[in-house]
Amino acid sequence: MVGMTRAHMADPHIVQKIMAGQEDTIRPCVGATYCLDRIYQGGMALCIHNPSTGRESEQPHAIAPAPVAKKVVIVGAGPAGLEAARVAGERGHEVMVFEAAAQPGGQVLLTARTPRRREMIGIIDWRMAECTRLGVKFHFNTFAEAFDIVSEKADAIIIATGGLPTRDVLSEGNDLVVTAWDILSGDAKPGSQVLLYDDAGDHVAMQAAQMLADSGAKVEVMTPDRTFAPDVMGMNLVPYIRAMQARDVTFTVMWRLLAAERSGNRLRAVIGTDYGSQTRTAEYDQIVVNHGTQPLADIYFDLKPLSANLGAVDHEALVAGHPQPAGEGFALYRIGDAVAARNTHAAIYDALRLLRQV
Ligand code: SF4
């Protein structure tokens, strides 16, 4: 007996590809366990990086070639941008990707820094391999300006520039705190007594808390919500809690960080609640904020007035699976966290369903 359930959910053509000697093109299961979490919480067996799984009737696994080959320029090589490039390549389009960083991956690079989630980099590696096979051209270390993009004379421009973390949640002292991304990336050295304030409720907070705890810090995770990390579903929560309960980590729910101020060589947190007017203070040597990301979409707004569709998606066509309407000049779209902070699955799903209509 061979048990390969998740491998088949990530790529249902796995056996067919092996028989055809195309092992290199198999979409790998990256062990995210998003599938099991989505079964238990929502009832659909969805794969974190194959949005066709569970949606076969409206999003078939096979990508149909486009009736007319076009030129598609994509800005950003995170999960959304790379999926857009892959699907556009499968459609037979000429595809060019601009990326400001030296390597692809976007936020997945931070995710993969946690040893337990290291395999998530397969989301990026598989897409890069597929894009290479499909002839997609990449320009890394290239901060694309609107003029550069327009001069490519593309038929469609996809903005997949993602988002940047914001820490502007406090009435004062925003400059005294660091973000969870700073901890994950190594830009901020972990303190020894740390408040991790999380009002985003996603994996980033749990990863940063675990990384802080693993460094030996005493960590207090605080959220204004009545439960912490609501976006981290049951199966994924277990290893975080197992790791953190073995360390010096406590959880405080239903308290809101209002401000941070200096207190000698430490930081004083002013803490309030949404349920009353009382406040209290506590001292730490580091305050980390996880407040999600803000879209990084300046280039989209620069290009919007120049585009044929004024940057708009025809949502009725999108939902019905019909081609996006054509116009004079280039069509402009934005996808993934460049629209709003969501998760990896949402970013890839955005790209798949839009690009199969372009
Ligand atoms: S969600 Fe993750 S674990 Fe589940 S099939 Fe997809 S890649 Fe594998």
Contacts of 239 (CB under 8 A, 6+ apart): 116
- Structural domain spans, the chain: 1-57, 63-164+295-355, 167-291
The average confidence (pLDDT) of the chain is: 95
Q: With a cut of 80, say whether residue 263 has pLDDT above it.
A: yes
Inter-residue contact 218 to 285 (CB < 8 Å)? no
Distance from chain centroid for Cα 331: 24
Q: With a cut of 90, say whether residue 257 has pLDDT above it.
A: yes
pLDDT of residue 325: 87
DSSP 108-138: HHHHTTSGGGGGGGHHHHHHHHHHHHTT-EE
pLDDT band of residue 167 (cuts 50, 70, 90) is: confident
| Ligand 1 pocket member 14 (CB < 6 A) | no
C-alpha span between 154 and 331 (Å, rounded): 9
pLDDT of residue 220: 98
Protein residue closest via CA to atom 6 of ligand 1: 47
pLDDT of residue 163: 96
Quick one: 63-164+295-355 is in which CATH superfamily?
NAD(P)-binding Rossmann-like Domain (3.40.50.720)
Mind listing the pLDDT tens digit for each residue in 194-211? 999 999 999 999 999 999
Query: How far apart are the CA of 263 and the centre of ligand 1, in A?
Result: 46
Query: How far apart are the CA of 276 and the centre of ligand 1, in A?
Result: 42
CATH code, residues 167-291: 3.50.50.60
Mind listing the pLDDT tens digit for each residue in 4-34? 899 999 999 999 999 999 999 999 999 999 9
pTM over 0.85: yes
Mind listing the pLDDT tens digit for each residue in 127-162? 999 999 999 999 999 999 999 999 999 999 999 999
Atom of ligand 1 at shortest range from CA of 34: 1
Query: How far apart are the CA of 46 and the centre of ligand 1, in A?
Result: 8
pLDDT of residue 327: 83
Cα distance from N-terminal residue to C-terminal residue, the chain: 43
Mind listing the pLDDT tens digit for each residue in 80-93? 999 999 999 999 99
